[in-house]
Structure 1
C-alpha cells in the first residue's frame, strides 16, 4: 500500500500515510502483526468487546 502511494504521490506523502491492518486482530496475534514494518496500527473489531482481550492487544502494541 505504501509503495503504491509513493509511486502515485511521492515519498514525502507516503511516509505520512498511516496503514491500519483491518484483518482479525486478537491477543495471540497482535504483537506479530503490529511488529510488521509497514503496519502502523490495527482496526480492532470483536476483540474490543472483551476488556481483557482489548487490554492485551493494547499491551502488545509496540511503543512509539
Structure 2
C-alpha cells in the first residue's frame, strides 16, 4: 500500500512540474528574458550558455 501511494505521489509531482513548465513557457516575461539571454550569449561569443545568460539577465533586471 505504501509503495502504491509513493508511486501516485511521484506521478502527481511529475505532472505538476510539467504543468509549471508549460505555464512558464507561455509567460511573456519568461520568453522575453530567455531571448535576451540568447542575444547576450550570441553577442559575447558563447562566454555563457543561453540559460546562464538568461539567469544573468533576470538577476540584473
What TM-score results when the alignment is normalised by the length of structure 2?
0.21
Higher strand share: 1
What TM-score results when the alignment is normalised by the length of structure 1?
0.20
Bigger Rg, structure 1 or 2? 2
Higher helix share: 2
Structure with the bigger RCO (C-alpha within 8 Å, sep 6+) is 1
